[in-house]
Structure 1
């Protein structure tokens, strides 16, 4: 088989994979906000510039190898070497660098309409603690999910509780590292409603690859309604099974690590579960929120997410697990 044929077949096989990486819930090339649009534009400009330089160099290589002797001699002239080896790269790279600084130096546009939105995000091994700062200065805490109103500037105050993490929501902004004992701030804006995915982008040990989060951009009215709901205490059990689950949750020691506001469970080591049933995922993006997934997580979370800091409760009988999962799934 000729090399040209092999190359064409290879390109045909790999192109769908490359194109598939340009879209999806966690793609920097599917921007949903002005910061991500700037980064995507910069990527395509740099890619086009690199491709143009490659083509030019390839042409000169072909000339040097296959052109008539007189043309090759002209290519080897000192002036041509200086122009192609010094002037061309200096001008090209300087232009791209200046464009980079000009594009990214502007930063995100501030869009204010009402009270400023402040959200504090703390990276922990291996999940995200998210606290919404209310206008009166109080906070309401959730976990592993970030909700923002469309068209409003949101200031994220980022820090870490243990090791260096990195907050990265590719569809909305670039990544920003999170350091223990230090707070950094990121401003972002979501231009349209929808769900995208974020990830810890700095290796932090253990199940780092499974330290993800969902970003839910909502219409401003829906966001305010959701936020008001988050300030309320936990929903009372709606049936006998959930009532039993609440009792077993307390007696099994779950409240030592988890908070459920309005109950005696006030633990701070793990995620706040007051409204866990209204989230999109548990385990930092590992499983969807439903009764079966919650039950599986309780019994065998170390198989689902090896190395996470929650112990598996394999000693609980099936009836207790079913009741606890029914209770948690109902916390909306």
Structure 2
């Protein structure tokens, strides 16, 4: 019997380990916020495993030991076993839970969540069903309108009138690597939760209330995030990316995002612009530098430069963009994006070319 049991355990082991790997691997932190949580989580996890093994060992010992008969045992009223109750049922839980409680308070105290402990937010993140809108606030330090150390003053200096422009980055948040970013989170509709496992814990986005969080990425890279609070039928497809990059690359990206949409480069793109402006697209989306000033959906001024579309759920490819425009409801049922089946083939190709050109 041992061989089948061993084979079963070995077969299940990769499945168990699969939950601890991948782009959202919370076991390996990428910043001080997640590192502080891991410092609390690892001892708790190891302790839980130790207690679980001990409990199972006791259960097996009780189940397998020789039971004898009632004649061989003292009567129930004779007492005994109080030590098991005192140490295993009282002392041990009190010590473990007290240690976890104290450790949790110390961890929470290291995170500046109160407004008086934090600077003005650099980014406001607004949750929608079902996408995140990152708004880079002109008063934030990473937009270059406040003072700072020498490197920040050189790399993130004010950029004239463009510094007063609020930059929108739906579902794709760029940050400079190696420095704390102050974020304010709120919700447009229902309760959402901002969670980037490698950078920090979960922070709720509550309608009518602003929460705060500070994140920092130690290394350049793309950090996957998602909504961690059930918010409707497309909750599983509400995702985001944190792109951490060196300061100069971040500034170059921010400068591009401040620009208006580029003019059409050829006749097909010009035709696509006309399709976009004459259809219902312009009623819901904004493209700066054009008559499109819709406020319902994500801003599309630089949609062609983003890695994903549809609230972070689809790669930004021509095929996915055409499918999303034509029948968004089949890809993300319940989304506010309607399906546009009225476009002809040339119109759809021109519209897609126009959207891809917005970089």
What TM-score, normalized by structure 2, do the two folds share? Answer: 0.83
Superposition pairs of residues 163-178 of structure 1, within 5 angstroms = 163-178=190-205
Superposition pairs of residues 177-326 of structure 1, within 5 angstroms = 177-326=204-353
1:112 matched to which residue of 2? none
2:112 and 2:218 mapped to 1: Cα distance?
12
1:180 and 1:25 mapped to 2: Cα distance?
29
Do the aligned residues in 1 keep the contact of 2:165 with 2:258 (CA within 8 Å)?
no
1:124 and 1:84 mapped to 2: Cα distance?
48
Q: State the Cα distance separating 1:81 from its structure 2 match.
A: 3.1
Structure 2 stretches of 5 or more lacking a match?
68-72, 114-118, 139-144, 146-162
1:124 matched to which residue of 2? 128
Residues 257-316 of structure 1: per-residue CA shift (max 9 Å, x gap):
100000111111111000001111000122211222211111111111111111111110
Residues 68-97 of structure 1: per-residue CA shift (max 9 Å, x gap):
89xx99x94423431222112211222232
1:100 matched to which residue of 2? 104
Do the aligned residues in 2 keep the contact of 1:116 with 1:153 (CA within 8 Å)?
no
Q: State the Cα distance separating 1:23 from its structure 2 match.
A: 2.0
Task: Say if 1:89 and 1:233 are closer, same or farther in 2 by CA, change over 3 A.
Answer: same
Q: State the Cα distance separating 1:12 from its structure 2 match.
A: 1.6
1:119 and 1:271 mapped to 2: Cα distance?
16
2:80 and 2:66 mapped to 1: Cα distance?
13
2:19 and 2:64 mapped to 1: Cα distance?
38
Q: Which moved more, 1:282-291 or 1:266-275?
A: 282-291
Match of 1:46 among 44, 47, 50: 44
Structure 1 stretches of 5 or more lacking a match?
110-114
Do the aligned residues in 2 keep the contact of 1:213 with 1:284 (CA within 8 Å)?
yes
2:19 and 2:59 mapped to 1: Cα distance?
32
Matched position secondary structure for 1:87: helix
Q: Which moved more, 1:135-144 or 1:47-56?
A: 135-144
Q: State the Cα distance separating 1:161 from its structure 2 match.
A: 0.8
Q: CA RMSD in A?
A: 2.3
1:21 and 1:79 mapped to 2: Cα distance?
39
Residues 15-68 of structure 1: per-residue CA shift (max 9 Å, x gap):
112222222222222321111122233222111101111233344445555568
Q: State the Cα distance separating 1:104 from its structure 2 match.
A: 3.6
Do the aligned residues in 2 keep the contact of 1:259 with 1:266 (CA within 8 Å)?
yes
Q: Does 1:25 align with 2:23?
A: yes
Matched position secondary structure for 2:122: strand
Superposition pairs of residues 18-167 of structure 1, within 5 angstroms = 18-64=16-62, 76-107=80-111, 118-134=122-138, 135=145, 138-167=165-194
How many residue pairs get matched?
A: 322
Residues 131-159 of structure 1: per-residue CA shift (max 9 Å, x gap):
10122554111211111111111111111
Residues 183-224 of structure 1: per-residue CA shift (max 9 Å, x gap):
111111111111121111111112111111111111111111
1:125 and 1:148 mapped to 2: Cα distance?
24
